[in-house]
Chains A and B, each alone.
Chain A
Amino acid sequence: MRFIDEFRDSSLAGALARRIARLAEGSPEITLMEVCGTHTVTVFKHGIKDLIPDNVKLLAGPGCPVCVTPTHYIDKAIAYARLEGVIVATFGDLFRVPGSSSSLEEERAKGGDVRIVYSPLDALRLAQQSRDKMVIFLGVGFETTAPLVAVSIMEAKRRGIRNYYVLCAHKVMPPPMEALVSDGELRIDGFLCPGHVSTIIGWGAYRFLSQKYHIPCVVAGFEPLDVLEGIWMLLRQIRNGTVQVDNQYRRAVREEGNPKALSLMRDVFEMADSEWRGMGVIPGSGLTISDKYRDYDAETSMEVAVEPLYSPPGCICGSVLRGVKSPLNCPLFRKVCTPESPVGACMVSSEGTCSIYYKYSDQI
């Protein structure tokens, strides 16, 4: 397929692998974090780790939106799904994430009305078609999803649809990256910055990381050659001692990002502190629905009683999300925690580190 095959070419991949090996030769261990879950998928799905030298470590970061959403949010979504006259609409990834005692999948099997949609606009359509129901869309995701959800809220207002609500847990990416480098728990020598998020926020958004924290950053695409080139560009910065933000994903990402999408987000959302699974509350890392659109905010419009929080013992999702532990360090991995009966969120989402290890890696 055009524009896909070119980025999976084995001879080019081999050439990049040789360049990477030359740059890494003789160097002490280098730890690079791929922030975005989709990058982790590429790394494992294409066997990228086989192509890079042992002293270059790739670490999966907190870039799986479903994984970083705290259990309390899932419990609230479940509580809404149990109410009469409510339809909960969600992207498929969230459907199977375990809450404290149930999941949306279980709730549907018990008779709750939970629908999987591909776009918040599908949820809006659902609201229009089911005027006697309240449709709650689960707004989870980073800057890539938030603009679309913003559009659905603006459209609801414009068309006078009053039975559409968003349970908003949107998050933004740069603050947790800063939290990771500033708390010092982990040594990160470079960030492979998230390509999709960067199409919205622009590569300029990471400049503070290179300037303030002296961390090399490269925005990379999602094909195997993109990731390999991204790694090579990071090693080049490390080798040359230059610290900046490089843009490997030039075919999609500009310095300023997507101004239209950013302005939609600014119109509908406000910056807020937000809780991340495993990382706690990170200042300014979340989005809430602004006062102008508060009628569409599920939380302010509809009170619901949420069950007490229960965290399964032994689950190390939090440490996996911070990159300090690998799923292989988890006593539950593959034994108790599997994609069929997941204990933690990282085993559910296709972008979750545990699920990726389970699916693509034959290490036990």
Chain B
Amino acid sequence: MKAERILLAHGSGGSLSYNLIRELFLPRFYNPILATLADAAVFSRQGMRLAITTDSYVVDPIFFPGGDIGSLAIYGTINDLAMGGAEPLYFSIGFILEEGFFLEELKVVVNSVREAAQQCGVEIITGDTKVVPRGKGDKVFINTTGLGAVREGVELSVERVCVRDKIIINGFIGEHGIAVMSQREGLEFDTIIKSDAASLWGLVSQMLEASQGLHLLRDPTRGGVATVLNEVVGGRDFGIRLEEISLPIGEGVLAACELLGLDPLYVANEGKLIAFCQPDEVDPILAAMRRHLYGREARVIGEVVANPAGKVIMKTRVGGTRLLDMLTGEQLPRIC
């Protein structure tokens, strides 16, 4: 049965979102920059290499352990720029407010936007506000667009990924998704699981300084680690092999996933990056990452392989192998 209407699953970040972009948007807006479908679009103008990205935030609830929609709207967009190797500079911000939303709550959100922007050294230089009737929105939706600059020599692209590249992650996975979900569903765990939402530019900048051997950076947000890795190998002549035993998953996230029947590899992150790098550059990159607050748990989780091409497979802890597919369907709507 082919969907005739937009389903929530079209926003999951998984394969329905991917198909919607590829089949509906991309052909109509086609140009070579857009066609890379990278987290940020990188282009050159008057001798400058610039990056631009945009993202809308509809997370529910707007306040969750470890963050809120305001800081998320800054960090998320910064991270998309950072994945293009761009230093974030200027932001635009748009608010869609629902009639009846408390001004006090809006103030908290706006203050959180300001603090996050200040802390990351970006300036909000233009913005927009709209109000929709009660019930036509939900409290507050935010859109941010970020402009950044890419240094000479920085080239991060899937075209650079080669067989035998090592795949690194900077820390524990699944925290954002579980934090939002447990807040939304009123689930209580012994230890509160906090969202990992954070700006990754500082970490990325240290990695870029440490090595020329970085080939690609991706942030595993909606759809999680498994979906992002599938996007990387889709239609390529290489595949990815992960080692389950190497995956950093916190006790709390693991317990919550066991309980809820979720796979942490598909749960959203907002402060994680996946780096593809040349095998002989792993040590300097890992060393640089571990010097940074958000890279202390950095480790290699797998490598790029020739076979099976176009697929992600995982060696399981008990010694078998299995396929890791893209997220299908809707796991958690409105996660970011």
Contact = CB atoms under 8 A, between A and B. Distances in A.
B319 A341 contact: no
- The B interface is mostly helix, strand or loop, or mixed, namely loop
B319 A50 contact: yes
Contacts of B319: 10, 13-14, 17, 47, 50-51
A356 to B, nearest CB: 10
B254 to A, nearest CB: 5
B16 interface: yes
Interface in A330-364: 338-343, 350, 358-362
Nearest to B320: A47
A343 B2 CA distance: 10
A103 B323 contact: no
A49 interface: yes
B313 A106 contact: no
A32 to B, nearest CB: 17
Contacts of A49: 320
Contacts of A340: 3, 9, 15-16, 19, 328-329
A338 B2 contact: no
A100 to B, nearest CB: 10
B323 A105 contact: no
B1 interface: yes
A46 interface: yes
B317 A10 contact: yes
Contact of B251 (A1, A45, A225): A1
Contacts of A45: 316, 322
Contacts of B1: 98, 102-103, 106, 341-343
B141 to A, nearest CB: 20
A1 B7 contact: no
A362 B319 CA distance: 16
A48 interface: yes
Quick one: which of A14, A17, A45, A225 has the most chain B CB within 10 A?
Answer: A45
A105 B4 CA distance: 11
Q: How large is the interface on A (under 10, 10 to 19, 20 to 34, 35 or more residues)?
A: 35 or more
Interface residues of B, number: 33
A44 interface: yes
Contact of B320 (A50, A103, A338): A50
A362 B258 contact: no
B311 interface: yes
Given A4-B258, A341-B3, A46 B318 contact: yes
A322 interface: no
B165 to A, nearest CB: 21
A362 B2 contact: no
Interface in A6-56: 8-10, 13-14, 17, 44-51
Interface string B93-116: 000000000000000000000000
Nearest to A224: B318
B5 interface: yes
Contacts of B251: 1
A47 B311 contact: no
B329 A96 contact: yes
B261 interface: yes
Interface in B33-63: none
Contacts of B322: 44-47, 360-361
Quick one: which of A49, A96, A224, A362 has the most chain B CB within 10 A?
Answer: A362
B126 interface: no
Contacts of B7: 105-106, 109
B185 interface: yes
A362 B311 CA distance: 8
Contacts of B316: 45-47, 224
Interface string B125-158: 0000000000000000000000000000000000
Nearest to B315: A47
Nearest to B5: A109
Contacts of B185: 118
B255 interface: yes
B329 A359 contact: no
Interface in B313-336: 313, 315-323, 325, 328-329
A350 B261 contact: yes
B308 interface: yes
A110 interface: yes
Contact of B258 (A1, A9, A10): A1
15 contacts: A8-B317, A10-B318, A45-B316, A46-B316, A47-B316, A51-B318, A103-B1, A224-B317, A224-B318, A228-B318, A338-B328, A339-B328, A340-B19, A341-B3, A360-B322
Q: When A and B form their complex, which 4 residue pairs have the shortest distance between CB atoms, in order from nearest? A: A47-B320, A339-B328, A50-B320, A13-B318
